Amino acid sequence: MASTELAPAAGPAPAVGRRARAEADVRLPGGGRITASAARRLHESVPRSSRSARDSRWSGYETWCDTYGWDTAEDNAVLCYLDDLAGRGHPATTLDAHFGTLRMLRAMYRTPLDKMEVKSCLAIVSQRRGEEADDPLVEPGPLQADGVDLTELRLMVRKLDRTTVRGRRDAAVLLLDWWMAGRASEPARLNLHDIKFTTVKITDPHTQQKTPREALIVKIRRSKADQQARGQEVRILAPDDQDLCPLHALREWLDVLADDGQLTPGPLLRRIDRHGNIGVKAAGRHTKDERRRGGITADTVSDIVKSAARAAGLTPTPTPEERAAVALAAREAKQAAEQAATAEESNAILRAWRTARRAARAAVRRITGHSMRRGCIQAMLDAGTPPEVVALHSRHSPRSTAFDAYRSKKLNWDQNPTGGLRLAA
């Protein structure tokens, strides 16, 4: 074949047919446009909880601007809004979260905060943090969930009826969530093929002999710390105590799925309605993602943890009268604030109410979906496991400041330096 035969024929290039898009393009707040598909992917790239928090903060900012005659793009509007939040008794952590969101959105809307306003906003947050530290009525800092230790985990699991479908599912949730130091969303996202039972050989520290031991490998496809979905593995050795063994609990749950004919690809942990129907057979609202239809959500995991903690007596169950009193106090405070003559008087009323509410909440144990993660990390650290090893298991970055919050800043009493300064009576 001659080389000239490979040359394209002379003449105009053929026209390329364009298909009309089903959806109109989306106009951006700062100008320009993108396709509806691109806008949807950008929207879904942010976790749902983060989107909700961002929308709520911007909505609150817009309402404040409308109320007091500011423009959302005006210089120093964010600064004054943060000051108003502080005046109403919001903690510094709330101010910091609002500042981060508003700064980002203002930049997206092409009305970024200048350097001086950023510096001033940070000063407002710092000043509020100092106010909290000096307030004798409340303990400073955010209200954090309390960790669940192994003794408490045992109490929670023993309150479950593991002869029932729901009891077996909830036991698998509690034990898997604790041993993997999971965020509530992580066990909820697991699929059947994300877990693998295996047997490994572990060196006995006394005999130095290799002994077989059952283990579980959990594949976490995506998490809060892995938004790029690179994937992470969590490895769990089976504990000797069967009551607290996540492998035993998972096998019991898989037997339930097999008996119901649902040992099929899909979510590992599935919904159960009040009639005992499992997964897609269960009545009620399912997840919006059709691919995970029948699976549980992070909210389900949190509800299971809270219910088990109440059943075990680890947290109090508010009476109807107590719930009514809390709701009444909130209504009365908000009505009084609305009727106040000045914004300063209104803020003082709301601040007093928030201070009282925070003190009441701090006085009782708080067990939430995050308590399993905190409890597992603290138990491993208390057992003498090096922090860098625990951080690998909990999927924290080596330079994570969040992991530092789990570490106890208190010396063991045996190591306390004041013990060597005994004085004779």
- Between residues 27 and 197, which one has the greater pLDDT? 197
At 141 the pLDDT is 64
Q: How is residue 280 written in tokens? A: 């897609």
Q: How is residue 358 written in tokens? A: 């925070």
Please state the rounded mean pLDDT for residues 149-163.
Answer: 95
At 5 the pLDDT is 46
Residue 14 above 70 pLDDT?
no
At 7 the pLDDT is 46
At 234 the pLDDT is 93
Greatest mean pLDDT range, 28-37, 61-70, 132-141, 143-152: 61-70
d(Cα 202, Cα 375) in Å, to the nearest integer? Answer: 25
Hey, which residues does 212 pair with through a beta bridge?
Answer: 201
At 279 the pLDDT is 86
d(Cα 37, Cα 126) in Å, to the nearest integer? Answer: 41
At 94 the pLDDT is 93
Q: Any residues with CB less than 8 A from the CB of 47 and at least 6 apart, and which?
A: 224, 227
- Contact in structure between 80 and 124 (CB atoms under 8 Å): no
Please state the rounded mean pLDDT for residues 186-205.
Answer: 91
Neighbours of 69 (CB within 10 A): 7
d(Cα 235, Cα 198) in Å, to the nearest integer? Answer: 10
What strands, in cross-sheet order, belong to the sheet with 195-203? Answer: 195-203, 210-220, 232-237
Determine phi and psi for 191, rounding to 5 degrees. Answer: -105, 165
DSSP annotation of 424 reads -
At 300 the pLDDT is 93
Single out the residue of 156, 150, 174 nearest to residue 250, CA to CA: 174
Greatest mean pLDDT range, 175-179, 314-318, 348-352: 175-179
Please state the rounded mean pLDDT for residues 354-382.
Answer: 88
pLDDT-derived band at 140, boundaries 50, 70, 90: low
At 11 the pLDDT is 58
Lowest mean pLDDT across 46-60, 123-137, 275-289 = 275-289
Looking at 260-319, list the stretches that DSSP marks H as alpha helix, in order from N- to C-terminal side: 298-311
pLDDT tens profile 199-258: 999 888 788 888 899 999 999 987 766 666 677 899 999 999 999 999 999 999 999 999
At 148 the pLDDT is 94
Extract the runs of DSSP E, i.e. beta strands, from 221-369.
232-237
- Contact in structure between 40 and 60 (CB atoms under 8 Å): no
Residue 3 above 50 pLDDT?
no
For helices 92-108 and 77-87, angle between their N-to-C axes, nearest 10 degrees: 160
Please state the rounded mean pLDDT for residues 373-396.
Answer: 90
Identity of the residue numbered 175:
L
d(Cα 269, Cα 278) in Å, to the nearest integer? Answer: 10
At 106 the pLDDT is 94
At 291 the pLDDT is 73
Determine phi and psi for 218, rounding to 5 degrees. Answer: -110, 125
**Distances from the Cα of 60 to the Cα of 23, 30, 72, 84, angstroms:** 31, 20, 11, 11
Q: Decide: pTM greater than 0.75.
A: yes
Share of the chain above pLDDT 70, in %: 89
d(Cα 61, Cα 103) in Å, to the nearest integer? Answer: 12
Angle at 281 between CA 278 and CA 286, to 5 degrees: 90
Please state the rounded mean pLDDT for residues 411-420.
Answer: 74
- Contact in structure between 234 and 395 (CB atoms under 8 Å): yes
At 296 the pLDDT is 93
At 82 the pLDDT is 97
Lowest mean pLDDT across 29-43, 106-120, 148-162, 208-222 = 29-43
Counted residue by residue, the chain has a size of: 425
d(Cα 79, Cα 163) in Å, to the nearest integer? Answer: 57
pLDDT tens profile 50-84: 888 999 999 999 999 999 999 999 999 999 999 99
Residue 416 above 90 pLDDT?
no
Greatest mean pLDDT range, 246-255, 349-358, 359-368: 246-255
- Mean pLDDT rounded to a whole number for the chain: 86
Neighbours of 297 (CB within 10 A): 21
Residue 122 above 70 pLDDT?
yes
Q: Any residues with CB less than 8 A from the CB of 227 and at least 6 apart, and which?
A: 45, 47
What Rg value do the Cα atoms of the chain yield, rounded? 28
